[in-house]
Amino acid sequence: MNTVVQKYGGTSVKTIERMEHIADKVIHKINKGYNVVLVVSAMGKTTNRLIEMAKSISTNPSKRELDMLMSTGEQVSISLLSMILKERGYDSIALTGFQAGIMTEGIHTKNKITQVKIDNIKKHIKQGKVVVVAGFQGINETGDITTLGRGGSDTTAVALAAKLKCTCEIYTDVEGIYSIDPRVYPKARKLKYISYEEMMEMSSLGAKVMEPRSVELGNKYNVPIYVASSHKATKGTYIKEFDKFMEQKSITGLSLSENVLMITINNVPYSPKSISDVFGKLASEEVNIDMISQTSPREGYVNISFTTSKEDEEIIDRVINGLKKEINNIKIQKDTNITKISVIGMGMRHESGVASKVFKLFADHSIEFKQVTTSEISISYTIKSKDKERAISVLTKEFNL
């Protein structure tokens, strides 16, 4: 029999009624001749509520204990879903990340999967069971429960599919991958196919349908990923290797990130050591830096700007306060009213002039941008948040998104 890994997110398992609906879909798949491995998230907003509880005790709760707490959300989901399947007459077993062989490393709340020991899952599959695995979690080399960060259940699902050498189906609250988030732009086009590379860029630049590491794993191990609605029977989107039959446009999609914090440090002494110290301290705190710009040296000083996630603002403040004590006369500016907007497309590899077209569009519509970064298949701009809707409108119209 073929095996398939199916992943269901928080809204899909929000209630017992919705779990019953998942059971219907699983049984339908079994009746078509498949072994099914399920990966599920915590019910609804459970993880957020658990974090709020922790923060009511401490503004900076222990990351180890936070992982222990957050991991309980998925354990509730897998237990209930397994019970439902058993009640329907289908043998099932719920496994935590540890029991499923998800091995991780890194800092607590942001661990990464290093290995999947698949023997236990294979044993249960051979016994004809539906295996229900807790997403988002694993165990590290010291035996501590760990979590994988937001969207970590996607990564769990694709990692399992890679080891089982099968397709991964991601069921969520949208009907597939769109050229732009339909909640932001209702006229967005749903894509039949999108390449791993384009999806990785879109995810890392703000698209929330897929977690970037999960797509990276899919690309590395050539796992076909199908993204569809958990509530409707409409066709979804396949994430796969780029081929000549896929629609070729200069721009495939548009990503937005409003979770952007922009920091500017003025009067930094111009030396490799000074600049290295700034980013070294941020790296030691596991702060993920996105866009970076630096002015030309003037009278021995430079200004540095960078963007990061608003979630790391507390850490940034702590690091910056430390820098103020070490580097005399630096001045700090912090801007939270920033949106990053990115255009992505494989066609950019072969078509010139996309950047100039966007620059002209912004100029014609008085949309100011603060920073620009590029990759081989994407261009990103930081703009004022108040200009977001105008930028979306002109870009979607120009590139037929």
- Give the angle 259-264-269 at the CA atoms, nearest 5°: 150
Q: For 182-231, write each residue's pLDDT tens digit.
A: 888 888 889 999 999 999 988 888 777 788 899 999 999 999 999 999 88
Could you give the number of structural domains in the chain?
2
Give dist(CA 356, CA 362) in Å, integer: 10
In percent, the amount of the chain with pLDDT more than 70 equals: 99
Q: Considering only residues 340 and 312, tell me which one the structure prediction assigns the higher pLDDT.
A: 340
Same domain? For 290 and 190 the reply is no
Whether residues 305 and 232 share a domain: the answer is: no
Confidence at residue 248, expressed as pLDDT on a 0 to 100 scale = 66
CB atoms within 10 A of CB 359: 14
Full domain range(s) for residue 263 = 255-398
Same domain for 237 and 284, yes or no, is: no
Q: What is the pLDDT of residue 104?
A: 96
175, 234 Cβ separation under 8 angstroms = yes
CA angle centred on 235, ends 231 and 238, rounded to 5°:
115
Phi, psi for residue 147 in degrees, rounded to 5: -125, 160
Contact 113, 148 (CB under 8 A): yes
What is the total residue count of the chain?
401
73 with 165, same domain: the answer is yes
Question: Do 226 and 364 sit in the same domain of this protein?
Answer: no
| Average of per-residue pLDDT across 275-288 | 84
Q: Which pLDDT value is given to residue 138?
A: 96
Q: Which of 199, 189, 206, 249 is nearest to 224 (CA)?
A: 199
pLDDT confidence bin for 245, thresholds 50/70/90 = low
Phi, psi of 339 (to 5 degrees): -125, 135
Structure-token match 């050498």, residue found: 165
> How confident is the model over 96-116, as pLDDT tens digits?
999 999 999 999 998 999 999
Give the CATH number for residue 329.
3.30.2130.10
24-33, 179-188, 322-331, range with the lowest pLDDT: 322-331
Judge contact between 43 and 74, C-beta under 8 A. no
Same domain, 30 and 102: yes
DSSP 299: T
- Give strand pairing partners of 255: 342
Q: Which two tokens stand for residue 366?
A: 């008085």
Say yes or no: 43 and 71 in one domain: yes
| Position 78 in a domain | yes
Portion of the chain with pLDDT greater than 90, in percent: 56
Q: What share of the chain is helix, strand, coil (3-state, %, to 5)?
A: 40, 30, 30
Q: Which of 120-129, 224-233, 275-284, 285-294 has the highest mean pLDDT?
A: 120-129
Looking at residue 50, its pLDDT comes to 95
pLDDT in tens, 137-159: 999 999 999 999 888 999 999 99
Tell me if 91 is assigned to some domain.
Answer: yes
* Largest Cα span, the chain: 77
Domain edge (last residue) among 205, 221, 245: 245
Is 278 found in the same domain as 226? no
pLDDT at 355 over 60: yes
Residue 250 lies in a domain: no
Same domain, 269 and 371: yes
Question: Is 169 a residue whose pLDDT tops 70?
Answer: yes
